Amino acid sequence: MRTERRHTRRDFLGIAASGWACAVCGGANAQTLRYDLKAVEIAPQSYAVFGAQEYFTFQNGGNIVNTAFFAVPDGVVVVDTGPSRRYGEAFQELIASTLPGRKVVRIFNTHHHPDHFFGNQVFDRGLIAAPQTIIDNIEADSVAFADNLYRLLGDWMRGTEPVAPSLAVDTDQEDVGGRSLSYLRLAGHTSADFALRDDATGVLYAGDLAFLDRAPTTPHADLDVWRASLRTLLATDRGVLLPGHGPADEKNDAIVQTLDYLDWLDETLRDAVQKGLTMTEAMVTPIPDRFATLGVVRSEFERSVVHLFERFEDELYESVPVAE
């Protein structure tokens, strides 16, 4: 596995402090260091495990992510594996008790943020899949991610080692365990995002391309690309959508809300740069009423200013040479 780092340690401290979002259901017991995971059926024999609407803390053990699993004729398919080895072990136990007697036949990672793949090591690496760019991102950034999660979560991370997928997804459709799955290799939340649809139930597992009732996170975001990907999801024939963070969505609420927020974020930051505001001044911009109830929206907006402000400055203003 490659261990070179694309970003500075300071970058990753900011990323880790911002967390990676979600919705309430199934927390962690900080005294016993055991995750209390609950399987919620969102379609026939299709289950989501919802994380807490918080940032990474010792109290929640980093359980701030939606993971999922569903039955196929020959076994079980898993979508994302959580933030730690302990989570992965608890997740394995939950899968076995919910769908007894079925073996896991495939595991997918939807992108390279650590809450989505640090449970990989408890599964058979030969069954873990993602598009090649996601694999590359995990291999490049996982050591720095691990550094920061150990710092934030302490003993919850004991024994956790990052493991990248071994299978590269390079098709738009595949039969997995006797079930047809459709793949969408997209980007925008990060440089590579992956969504998949179970063609039998219509459930669309969107990863962090979609958030619901929680402010989107932007440490690796390209807003234009992300919004294009959301429009692709909006046009996709589907049933229930499971966002990476937030409740399951039977309508278009997750996609529409995420699009609306990203549109506002783009417009707000462009306006701030054009007015000559500093980053500190931009951070106190009022949050519109329609977003006021989103989880941790003020903190997430402030972090987005840090993530994106200089990019808008570079885009909107020409560089001026300075004589030395």
Here the tokens at position 266 are 């783009």
Average pLDDT along the chain, 324 residues, taken 10 residues at a time? 39 40 43 88 98 84 91 98 94 98 98 94 97 97 84 86 96 98 98 98 98 96 98 97 97 97 98 96 97 94 96 82 69
Q: What is the pLDDT of residues 299-315, one digit of tens each?
A: 999 999 999 999 999 88
Residue 173 in contact with residue 183, Cβ under 8 Å?
yes
Helices (H), 1-125: 9-18, 85-98
The arrangement of secondary structure in 9-251, i.e. its CATH architecture, is 4-Layer Sandwich (3.60)
Give the dihedral of Cα atoms 54, 57, 60, 64; nearest 10 deg: 40
Q: What is the pLDDT of residue 270?
A: 96
Strand-strand pairing, 28-29 and 34-35: antiparallel
Here the tokens at position 302 are 């402030």
Q: Which residue type sits at 178?
A: G
Which residues are bridge partners to 211 per DSSP?
245
Domain boundaries, the chain: 9-251
- From residue 301, alpha-carbon distances to 113, 114, 175, 279, 288 in Å are 19, 21, 41, 11, 12
**Could you count the other beta carbons within 10 Å of the beta carbon of residue 5?**
16
Q: Report the candidate in 134, 140, 150 with the shortest Cα–Cα distance to residue 83.
A: 150
Q: What is the pLDDT of residue 18?
A: 40
Here the tokens at position 307 are 């993530």
**Could you count the other beta carbons within 10 Å of the beta carbon of residue 16?**
22
What is the reported pTM?
A: 0.88
